[in-house]
């Protein structure tokens, strides 16, 4: 089980998810089979839903969903990036080591303080 320190958040808008789906081969899943199961499941769960700063947290992380949330009253939400993510995106909690898989995909990867992270 990953710890909070070992996680990042992959923020996606619906437009991001549609771009990923459009690039996938016909009849294939949007994310390749080589991606971790938890990541594919949360990605599919996120698809078509309003983001509005909500997080999708896979069972692989255990614990309470609230343990991973960025609290609404915290300053990161008042930055330009925070405002954008809160209005347009939903986040998928990922293992830090899985961030490299997302290198060529749309979206923004941050830590829990909404600081950009590099895959």
HEC secondary structure over 6-53: HEEEEEEEHHHHHHHHHHCCCCCCCCCCCCCHHHHHHHHHHCCCCCCC
* Averaged pLDDT for residues 3-8: 80
Rg (CA), the chain: 14
Q: Per the structure block, which two tokens stand in for 4?
A: 């909070």
Contact criterion met (CB below 8 Å) for 9 and 110 = yes
- The whole-model pTM stands at 0.87
pLDDT tens string 10-38: 999 999 999 999 988 877 778 988 899 99
Pick the residue with more confidence: 5 or 107?
Answer: 107
Spatial distance between the Cα atoms of 27 and 79, rounded to a whole number of angstroms: 39
């Amino acid at each position: 089980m990953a710890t909070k320190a070992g996680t990042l958040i992959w923020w996606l808008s619906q437009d991001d998810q549609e771009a990923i789906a459009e690039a996938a081969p016909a009849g294939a899943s949007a994310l390749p089979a080589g991606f971790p199961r938890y990541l594919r499941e949360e990605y599919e769960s996120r698809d078509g839903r309003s983001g509005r700063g909500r997080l999708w947290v896979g069972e692989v992380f255990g614990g309470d969903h609230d343990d991973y949330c960025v609290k609404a009253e915290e300053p990161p939400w008042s930055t330009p990036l925070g405002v954008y993510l809160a209005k347009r995106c939903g986040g998928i909690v990922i293992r830090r080591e899985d961030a490299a898989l997302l290198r060529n995909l749309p979206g923004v990867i941050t830590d829990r303080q909404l600081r950009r992270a590099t895959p």
